[in-house]
Structure 1
Amino acid sequence: MRLPVLRRLALVAALALAAHGTAPARAAGPTEGAAPPYDQDFLRLAEILGALHYLRPLCGVEDEAQRWRAEMQALLDAEQPSEARRGLMIGSFNRGYSSYAQVYRACTPSARLAVSRQLEEAGKLAHDIVVRYGGN
């Protein structure tokens, strides 16, 4: 994983964990590899970013209307995946978005709980990816 990706993941972790008042641990240096072992976690993170892209503005966080989409784009730009992997990542993001768009038309207590859980999981995933695969 290249250093810009680690920085983006650390930023995503910081953003998500800040919503819960928790500070992320510092990340180690990057590792290189053709078949990233963090791929499933990364795809799940993309799905969560898609969910947040739908849910946060729905629940009145208007200043985040493009924030999570921009975070996803920045991760893609930093990672520079193959076209096939890029398609999987974008598909995960879109799946996260559409799965919540099918369920919620208004912000409900359940939607707010989903936001909270998504932020918590995103922070944990991003933190774990950086710590586990960041290398020294």
Structure 2
Amino acid sequence: MTVLVGYVPSPEGEAALRAAIGEARRRGEKLLVVNTTRGDALVDSRFAQEPDLTRVREDLAALGIDFDVRQVLGARDAAEEIIDLAERVGASLVVIGLRRRSAVGKLIMGSAAQHILLGADCPVLAVKAEG
């Protein structure tokens, strides 16, 4: 089986990655790191650049983790991509990072985390960044 982590280059993404590494080790499973964007914005801070992904690959290799890194550029939102990919790979767990948002922000923009929590067929571990 596989532990899937939704990764973004942010403190929340790093917290999710750390938690996912721990879960993959504890379970003896492969780690799938996923970074995705719709590609509909000129600048998307959640879309990892190559230096970010290179660092993630090097860190995971140094830790001896069995892993794969996928970057998805598609027409769907990140939550849908993660839910569908988790189902396709038979993920035993999805790990996501949470960030603090106001109630109005959630109402207007929606919540990818909430969509994943409610839509995934497997357990979801949601973590916050330290501090």
Fold equivalence (TM over 0.5): no
Which one scores higher on RCO, CA 8 angstroms, separation ≥ 6? 1
| More strand per residue | 2
Bin for the TM-score computed over the shorter chain: 0.3 to 0.5
Report the TM-score when normalising by structure 2: 0.32
Select the structure that is richer in helix. 1
